[in-house]
Chains A and B, each alone.
Chain A
Amino acid sequence: ETGVTQTPRHLVMGMTNKKSLKCEQHLGHNAMYWYKQSAKKPLELMFVYSLEERVENNSVPSRFSPECPNSSHLFLHLHTLQPEDSALYLCASSPQDLPYEQYFGPGTRLTVT
């Protein structure tokens, strides 16, 4: 039990679809992160939310839209994705004052067809 859950675990979508990824943390943390992990590439930080406010948007295309309604939940809304967006999307959380102490969810394996 990692304390960070993600749904769905696997997702296949067409380029014209709209879908959302969900992340929930049960650790009492107040910072949350979205990462993209492609094969043989480093984890890429996409978005950071601290105290429900977005503090980092790492030049991510607008077809990815994050939402953090409260400190326990984080969403990533997807629309008109490209095949190169196929990857493992990882959510993480940390205490706001200990940003390096990150706990990861199991990820959503996304395939764009």
Chain B
Amino acid sequence: GQNIDQPTEMTATEGAIVQINCTYQTSGFNGLFWYQQHAGEAPTFLSYNVLDGLEEKGRFSSFLSRSKGYSYLLLKELQMKDSASYLCAVPEFSGGYNKLIFGAGTRLAVHP
């Protein structure tokens, strides 16, 4: 099975940089996903890491260390619209089927 941990809440200032961490324990590994979810809206895909290292996509970057069971999402030049929950998820194959296992999410509040 999977065990995923991420901080419950974080706050940051507009224009700053924030790092949201995620640790996981898994019996197998098929990559790690980050999703963004604004209040009352659908989760939307942000990134997928399967190899170690940093993947940059505009203001958002995601890092993975498979040996440490650790990932982080880095948000630069924060904007008010980045206030949302950020969900870490890992794939699992069980019961003959592939599925995503989610962390509880980190609620980020960006202040002026």
A55→B96 CA distance, assembly (Å)? 8
Given A100-B31, A106-B42, A42–B97 Cβ distance below 8 Å? no
> Is A2's CB under 8 angstroms from B91's CB?
no
Number of interface residues of A (CB under 8 A): 23
A33 to chain B, nearest CB (A): 8
| Residues of A contacting B41 in the complex (Cβ-Cβ under 8 angstroms) | 106-107
B9 to chain A, nearest CB (A): 9
| Residues of A contacting B43 in the complex (Cβ-Cβ under 8 angstroms) | 43, 90, 104
Given A45-B99, A55-B96, A99-B97, A104–B44 Cβ distance below 8 Å? yes
Taking the complex as formed, is A30 at the interface, i.e. its CB lies under 8 A from any CB of chain B?
Answer: no
* Partner among A2, A45, A55, A56 whose Cβ is within 8 Å of the Cβ of B42: A2
A4→B45 CA distance, assembly (Å)? 14
Number of interface residues of B (CB under 8 A): 26
> Is A50's CB under 8 angstroms from B97's CB?
yes
> Is A55's CB under 8 angstroms from B100's CB?
no
Q: Digitize B64-92: 1 where CB-to-A-CB distance is under 8 Å, 0 elsewhere.
A: 00000000000000000000000101010
> Is A42's CB under 8 angstroms from B102's CB?
yes
| Residues of B contacting A102 in the complex (Cβ-Cβ under 8 angstroms) | 45, 100
B74 to chain A, nearest CB (A): 22
Taking the complex as formed, is B30 at the interface, i.e. its CB lies under 8 A from any CB of chain A?
Answer: yes
